[in-house]
Amino acid sequence: MERLKQKIAGICENFRRYTAEGQITGSIGVARYPEDGNCYGILFCKADQALYHLKRSGKDGYQFYDESCTSLPFQSVLTQVEGETK
């Protein structure tokens, strides 16, 4: 787990370094197999929840899925896009 955190932190740092001339930030939501789910749909949804939990609390970083990610009402961009295409 620590190794994964270091890799993600490295990705975020490289992203910041190569975009220093602009105001671009990156956010990553992470769900782990099998701890957080055992199929793509569940893992994707939980990673999405982690991403939006991070965005509500500050952006520009990464968030591993945990129970705190479900403490606030959740509506992902995926839900919004699906509604627009129907």
Q: Is the pLDDT of residue 67 over 70?
A: yes
pLDDT digits (tens, 9 = 90+) for 45-62: 999 999 989 988 887 788
Q: How confident is the model at residue 85 (pLDDT cuts 50, 70, 90)?
A: very low
pTM of model > 0.85: no
d(CA 9, CA 61): 8
d(CA 10, CA 12): 5
Q: Are 54 and 36 in contact (CB under 8 A)?
A: no
Q: Are 72 and 56 in contact (CB under 8 A)?
A: yes
d(CA 86, CA 73): 23
